[in-house]
Chain A
Amino acid sequence: MGASAQVLTKAPTLKTVVEPTFPADAGIGGTVELELELSADGHVTNAIVIQGVDPAIDEAALTAARQLTFTPAELDGRPAPVRLRFTSLVMPTREPDAGPPPPPPAAIRGVLLLAGRREPIGGALVRINGREVISNDRGEFELTDLEPGNTTVQVTSGAHERFEVIEHLVAGERTQVTYVLRASGGGYETVVRDVRNRREVTQVRLTKNELRSVAGTNNDAFRVVQNLPGVARSPFGGSALVVRGSKSWDSRIYVDEIQIPQLFHFAGLTATFNSATVDSIGFHPGNFSADFGRSIGGLVQAEVRSPSTTGMHGHADVNLFDVGALIEAPIAGGWSASASARFSLTQWTIPLGLRAISAGVANQLGFTLAPSYWDYQLRAERKLSRGRIFISLFGSGDQWALANPNPFIDQDFEGNQSAAGTSQRYHRLVVGFDHRFSERVRLTSRNAVGFDVNEQSGSVEEIFFRTTQIPIQLRERLGIEVPEARLNLGFGFDGLLTVVAFDAQRPPVFRPNQLPEPFVTRRLLAQTERSLYVEPGLSADATWAPTAWLQVRGGLRADGELGVMRRLWLNPRLGVRVMPASWLTLKAGAGLYQQPPDWRSGQLSPTFGNPGLAPEGAWHFMTGLEARAFGVLELDVQGYYKALFSQARLSLASGLGSDLSIPGASSRYTSEGYGRAYGMEALLRLRPTKHLTGWVAYTLSRFERDSYGVPYAPGPLDQPHNLIIVASATLPWGLTASGRFRFASGPLITPIVSSLFDVNANQYVPLPGLPWSQRLPDFTQLDLRVDKRFTFDAWSLVVYVDVQNVTNARNPEALFYNFNYTRSAFVTGIPILPTAGVRGEW
């Protein structure tokens, strides 16, 4: 399916060698770096020069390259078009010398291996004295009838550094060699821009090369998503994924199409799923197709790569925050498997760091249980003749607590040391199955069962919130191609059944216009609930490409929640792509999106919420264009408008005294919230080249929500401008340098216009003005990262330094106030923060 990442299951190898014709008067020749686009049958459909020598030699290289043929590359076991690097050596032809009779010929036999991993390198060109041979899939090559004596052996391969060595060939003997080549920065890249596959109107997919080594992301691919258009900057570098201003519940995170409840470990340090096992990440800020539902925001989809089928590999990584390891290998019966795990070090490093800075800071923060996290991923996969099957088990846990310096519930009191903590854990067992029934019909099946625990404790022991969930997700999708009608059809079942045990005890929810009562245990409500949330989903969509320049994708999705809400809803969606030129695509989309209210937080609870809430909804509209230039630059610009309706919101307490009274105020929640989001997103992207990759992302985003009588007041995450420049360069000596620059509009805060002294609580209670109506100064930050790789024959070592906020910019993230809210000062974000790590790979 177009929306999912495809796995390169077979690399193309050179089948037909065509020597460049050395142009007359072209000097001494040289090496021309080319980029070739191969068709699904292995023919060269396009060739461009990445790094040339001179025009005549470059043209000779291009002419020869266009005549090359390769074995077909395969994506997910199917022949597919790919793009690859190719090095063409254009040298003068040696004139035969007259001389004494030649000695008996020599021969050479060898094997090519990848440095650091010892994987065989197939498809490499080995050249000796004008003779050439292509290495096979096992990396082996052999040349006979060679001239004895010292001779230069050259090995070139698109994905590896050029290798050259002088061998002494002995007359009449076969010389055995093993050459270890180093990987270059380039490599194969899946052609995700192919119009036949690209069916979504709004999607950015990042490949491994782009996910690697982005400064400021702690080497975490999921954090790279936060640098894309449509995603607002999260205050303090935190864990929120704010897509077009939406709250976090509105966006969904999928790993292998299975929804996970938590993207990041605490404070967004790193993702809960180890990105070392991720092949690619797709991000949809909106207008996604009918394949996915139960979301009115955006989607993040991670595709997990297949475990190694060529040998045992792995890595170990340690940095200031965690230690982790991965191992993968082929196992019996055609299966291959991988296992990885990660454990935090933060339970030691953060308290140590705080104490190093200031003992007072450590005391003020008051960790009673230092923050800790872990995650693991196990996967076994077998390639089948018509697809693949995989089983994976993964999970994550986070835990922390701090003694809340509540002015009344003083931490000095015995029994309050466990105050205000949280513990979140999730596990997923996934069985995936891809099968092609025929050339036209294929099945994608993803089925999972999970076990989630979320525990939160309040400032005193009597206040707690615990949920245990067993989600069962079944995603079955049938894809049917009808080439005669230029039609791709998709039919899907996407069911989610969640068994929930909900156990909570807490005071009644304070309404937005109420001052909180400090006697928190005097009036406790309790709920012990066993619920079943039944969310069936059916989808049907069709992609119709009647001409080469037009593609229409329409779909209809039926969703619902039958366990508690007992509601069904229908969501139509439409996307159109028009390609007036080969370098230009115009696109537009519209669709309806709905989701249940956030039942995880109790919004549908009969005690704390309102089971009668309607599904939250949003209309998505977008239009834009995509353009390509110079073969390596891509521009994606789009404008969007999102109308939110039926949003769950807390009711005001009208009660006895308030002069504010809204319909339905007697409920704890109503579905009367509404809002809108609109803006523009632009992504200028340099596709990964041998030495450079990067992008410029700009988002103009407005988000407005109703505010109890004030229509379209700014929403909490309204962030008009967000500019991100990301660049990564591969340097000599195994060095990679990357940088990230960010500029964003300052965060919004709710101004405090007055206060009163709650004499029972011994604290001042702020009286707020219009919510989110004050904007703090703009944010700027520069992050830099350097990776140094030491490659040995059997393994490699990477040492990296990541420095966030290199200029130590003092970016205001919030205001903090004096005790009675009459004075305030900025809370500034991350100061200059260098981190370092070591990673061993084999």
Chain B
Amino acid sequence: MRALVLVVLCGCGTGFTPETLVDSLRVLAITAEPPEVGPGEPSALSVLFADPTRTTKTTVLWVGCEPDPQDLGRSACNDAAILLKPTTITDYPPGLQLLGFGPSATYRSTREVFAPLTADNPIRQSGSVGQVLGLVVGEDVDPTATGERLRGYFERIERKETQAVVGLTRVLVSEKPAGLRNRNPTVGRLFVNGEEHPTGANLLVGPGGVLELSMPGLTEAAERYDEVQPTGVVSKQEQLVGAWYSTVGFFDRERFAANDLVVTHFTAPGEATERGTGTIWLVLRDERGGQAFEAYPFYFCDERLPTPAADAVTLEQDGTVTVRGSNLDAVADVLVGDHALVQGAYSSVDRTFVGRRPELAPGTYDLRLRSRGCETLRTSLRLSL
């Protein structure tokens, strides 16, 4: 215990950057949809990664491994000796396969994964994990590359000539009935400073400002499930853990037990970034492999900008919404009810603010502007959907 005391005493003063600060190429999450599948069934993989400093292209390589039928985790994707030598992957050790290139891929085990087991073996129900590696490589990898050319990429990664980060996730393969399998959690409505944040809207924070972030309703979102333990079947409820990340600034907690009471404070840096923007991410995880994530771009408040005004709004057949007015380059979001225009942006060509209609029930909604000066401005405009 003295050792622990000393670790704490001596380890807490060093100024490492916090885990939440994404200032280099990072994998933040990999989702498998669904996170639990039957033998031979597909699971769609997607990765959340970020590299605020890079301008070169990045490529995602996907590698998957067949589950260990004995559920002892024996797999090339789980073998430190192989992970230390990425070129080994191109030797295709037994059970390993290249799943593809790009931001998404599909994982699928063999249908016979549990064939070595007897029909009543409990592992068939509790399942075994298939490991998946998502390699985010800092160069443009030719998806048609094979053989020596493909090995060349891995050799550069192994020699650290090419920047690469690796994320490891697991897809649970079981013979459970579909209704009893794990599902990914859902990111709920974000509350900022105690108020519900408009869906799809940017966050606004002044230099050095603090945002109180919370997400009620997650407790109810946690699933109940049965877990087979040596003492019998135990009924449990998932525990969801949230983790915050951002390109600048810091959080007062890096992760939180997802319940209604937890409030996380985000403190923006004292000076705005050069572009006046940044991104906050939230990743939700259950303890069974389910994940979900959401990005929240933000603007630094700039009170020097002029106050925008809207005097007309149109809705096209294809769902495009165009707002006309003055000083619209100072608009962060156009709100339709409590939703922001999707992918809303200022068009310098015709000095309009253009976006797509949000997912709202048919009806007529008030139109408001959220300025980059951190004001919410009412307008006399209404939009009928």
The interface of chain A, by Cβ under 8 A from chain B, is: 235-238, 266-269, 350, 354, 357-358, 360-361, 364-365, 371, 400, 402, 407-410, 412-413, 462, 505, 508, 510, 513-515, 517-519, 521-526, 653-660, 753-754, 756-760, 762, 765, 767-769, 813-814, 816, 818-820, 823, 825-831
Contact = CB atoms under 8 A, between A and B. Distances in A.
B136 to A, nearest CB: 10
A660 B16 contact: no
B231 to A, nearest CB: 7
B3 A515 contact: no
B255 A518 contact: no
B74 A653 contact: yes
A653 B166 contact: no
Interface in B226-249: 227, 229-231, 234, 239, 241, 243
Contacts of A413: 239, 257
A525 B123 CA distance: 12
B30 interface: yes
A462 B3 CA distance: 26
B227 A522 contact: yes
Nearest to B133: A756
Interface string B189-221: 000000000000000000000000000000000
Nearest to B70: A655
B366 to A, nearest CB: 39
B7 interface: yes
Given A410-B257, A462-B229, A757-B168, A659 B82 contact: yes
Interface string B79-106: 1111110001001011110000000000
Nearest to A371: B1
Given A759-B27, A759-B30, A827-B11, A657 B2 contact: no
A756 B239 contact: no
29 contacts: A237-B2, A350-B5, A364-B8, A408-B287, A413-B239, A413-B257, A508-B73, A510-B73, A514-B79, A515-B79, A519-B289, A522-B227, A654-B74, A655-B75, A658-B76, A757-B165, A757-B167, A759-B167, A760-B170, A760-B285, A760-B289, A760-B291, A762-B241, A767-B83, A768-B80, A813-B6, A816-B7, A827-B7, A827-B11
Most buried by B among A365, A518, A655: A655
Nearest to A402: B4
B178 interface: no
Given A656-B75, A757-B166, 6 more contacts: A236-B2, A653-B72, A658-B81, A760-B289, A762-B243, A827-B10
B41 interface: no
B19 interface: yes
B382 interface: no
A410 B255 contact: yes
B230 A360 contact: no
Interface residues of B, number: 73
Contact of A762 (B71, B72, B127, B255): B255
Contacts of B348: none
A412 B264 CA distance: 14
Contacts of A400: 1
Given A237-B2, A657-B82, A361 B9 contact: yes
A656 B8 CA distance: 40
A759 B6 contact: no
B12 A513 contact: no
Contacts of B129: 517, 519
B77 interface: yes
Interface centre among A364, A412, A505, A816 (most CB of B within 10 A): A412
Nearest to A400: B1
B240 to A, nearest CB: 10
Contacts of A526: 229-231
B66 interface: yes
Interface in B1-38: 1-12, 14, 16-19, 26-30
B8 A658 contact: no
A357 B5 CA distance: 11
Contacts of B84: 753-754, 767, 769
B126 interface: yes
Contacts of A831: 9-10
B301 interface: no
A408 B287 CA distance: 7
B58 interface: no
Contacts of B186: none
Interface string B35-71: 0000000000000000000000000000001101001
Contacts of A813: 3, 6
A371 B2 CA distance: 10
Interface centre among A462, A759, A769 (most CB of B within 10 A): A759
Nearest to A815: B11
A464 to B, nearest CB: 12
Contacts of B65: 656-657
B372 to A, nearest CB: 32
A657 B8 contact: no
Contacts of B307: none
Of A413, A522, A814, most B-chain CB atoms within 10 Å: A522
Given A236-B6, A267-B1, A813-B6, A514 B241 contact: no
A401 to B, nearest CB: 10
B285 A819 contact: no
B16 A823 contact: yes
Contacts of B66: 656
A523 B7 contact: no
A660 B83 CA distance: 13
B256 A412 contact: yes
Contacts of B83: 515, 754, 756, 767
A656 B68 contact: yes
Interface string B140-177: 00000000000000000000000001111110000000
B363 to A, nearest CB: 40
Nearest to B10: A828
B283 interface: yes
B324 interface: no
B96 A657 contact: yes
Contacts of A517: 73, 78, 129, 170
B356 interface: no
A410 B239 CA distance: 9
Given A269-B2, A519-B289, A654-B74, A513 B79 contact: yes
Contacts of B234: 462
A805 to B, nearest CB: 11
Contact of A827 (B6, B17, B95, B262): B6
B74 A658 contact: yes
A660 B81 contact: yes
Nearest to A764: B19
A762 B88 CA distance: 26
A816 B256 contact: no
A774 to B, nearest CB: 16
Nearest to B92: A657
B288 interface: yes
Nearest to A370: B1
A659 B81 contact: yes
A657 B256 contact: no
A754 B291 CA distance: 25
Given A268-B2, A657-B75, A767-B84, A521 B229 contact: yes
Nearest to A754: B84
B131 to A, nearest CB: 8
Given A267-B3, A657-B74, A818 B239 contact: no
Contact of A238 (B3, B227, B291): B3
Nearest to B253: A412
Nearest to A407: B255
A830 B10 CA distance: 9
Interface string B113-133: 000000000000011010001
A519 B3 contact: no
For B5, B94, B239, the residue with the greatest tally of chain A CB atoms inside 10 Å of its CB is B5
Max chain A CB contacts within 10 Å: which of B14, B88, B283?
B14
A408 B254 CA distance: 12
Contacts of A825: 11, 14, 16
